[in-house]
């Protein structure tokens, strides 16, 4: 079964440093997403990406965050100047383009656990 892969599985970084979280979406998918989940809390939407541009973003996704699809397979989330409160599990997901009336199934990766110290 095709799957979304994320690397690294765990990253520890010092406060103020920049981190890049990497994702390889399912190959024929065209919609990509980043979510985060702080320990014990709900899954929070960060951003969706389609056709090489951001299609939607949440209030959480401020200037500290950026996304990029540097080549035909990778999708990255960059967090600049990390803060302690950025510590969370970050999930990447991908889906086919939603049809006119469908809420398309999204496939999630296993996540990257980011710890900011």
Binding residues for other proteins (CB under 8 A): 4, 33, 35, 42-45, 48, 56, 89, 91, 93, 98, 100-111, 113
Compute the distance between CA of residue 102 and CA of residue 100 in angstroms, rounded to an integer. 6
- Nearest to 26, CA basis, from 107, 111, 112, 110: 107
Residue 37, token pair as written in the block: 């989940």
CB of 23 vs other proteins, minimal distance in Å: 11
Closer residue to other proteins (CB): 65 or 91 = 91
Closer residue to other proteins (CB): 32 or 65 = 32
Closer residue to other proteins (CB): 81 or 104 = 104
Residue 109, token pair as written in the block: 């990766």
CB of 43 vs other proteins, minimal distance in Å: 4
Helix %, strand %, coil % for the chain, to 5?
5, 50, 50
CB of 80 vs other proteins, minimal distance in Å: 24
Closer residue to other proteins (CB): 16 or 97 = 97
Residue 61, token pair as written in the block: 């996704």
CB of 81 vs other proteins, minimal distance in Å: 26
Burial class (CB in 10 A: 0-12, 13-18, 19+), 103: exposed
């Amino acid at each position: 079964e095709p799957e979304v892969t994320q690397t690294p599985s765990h990253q520890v970084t010092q406060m103020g440093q920049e981190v890049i979280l990497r994702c390889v979406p399912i190959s024929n998918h065209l919609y990509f997403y980043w979510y985060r989940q702080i320990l014990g809390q709900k899954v929070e939407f960060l951003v969706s990406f389609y056709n090489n541009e951001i299609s939607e973003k949440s209030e959480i996704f401020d200037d500290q965050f950026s996304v990029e699809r540097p080549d035909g397979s990778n999708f990255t989330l960059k967090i600049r100047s990390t803060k302690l409160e950025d510590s969370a599990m970050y999930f990447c997901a991908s889906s086919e383009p939603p049809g006119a009336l469908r809420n398309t199934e999204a496939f999630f990766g296993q996540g990257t656990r980011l710890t900011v110290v």
